[in-house]
A and B are shown apart, each in its own frame.
Chain A
């Protein structure tokens, strides 16, 4: 079974631009979560989608948005990029909700904002 796939692996953007990151979950997984990881703040929860609906949202500005498609693939978008958005963005999928399931993470997208 293929793991969680995130594309692209690396991305370099300049301030003010926008970016879209993609995540393909493990086949059969219906929940996709997104996390931002930085050396200073650690892992911060962005949002979680389940069956195309955003079910949870972290404390990030509206510039950060996401969506989930009917095949469970997910995208997150960051508009008007700031230097502080430079981070490793991790996507994770899980199989069944309601029982504290473990997350399966992708390798992440390393975003650098110049």
Chain B
């Protein structure tokens, strides 16, 4: 079963708006990562936040982590049409290559 559950499953916004995606997980983690996937392609790493961190920024991305609620959010500010993709959270409990992925949020940014 999936460790992470993402919300919403699909999101459609206008270019320039902000997009927020949420991820919940079930067990304790070492870190949480967010990935982006364009249709039919491999995943691209966006950002990693460790369990002792609460917030992290990377360009237009802002990730928060609340370990007490076992949840994380990804905020994309000033979205662009090129941000159209599926976004996945992934949790790492073992510091190995075994990441457990959520079902993903499909984001559509309309020009």
Interface residues of A (CB under 8 A from B): 4, 31-33, 35, 42-43, 45, 48, 50, 55-56, 58, 88, 90, 92, 94, 97-100, 102-108, 110
Nearest to B41 among chain A residues (CB) is: A107
Using a CB–CB cutoff of 8 Å, the interface residues on chain B facing chain A are 2, 30-31, 33, 35, 40-45, 48, 50, 88, 92, 94-104
Q: Count CB-based A-B contacts (< 8 Å).
A: 72
**CA distance in complex: A48, B63 (Å):** 27
Q: Do A97 and B97 touch across chains, with their CB atoms under 8 A apart? A: yes
Is chain A's binding surface mostly helix, strand, loop or mixed? strand
Contact status A42-B104, CB under 8 Å: yes
Measured CB to CB, the closest approach of chain A to B41, in angstroms, equals 5
A103 contacts B98, C-beta separation under 8 Å = no
A99, B31: Cα distance in complex, Å: 9
3 tightest Cβ-Cβ pairs between the two chains A and B: A105-B42, A33-B97, A43-B101
Cβ contact within 8 Å between B33 and A102? yes
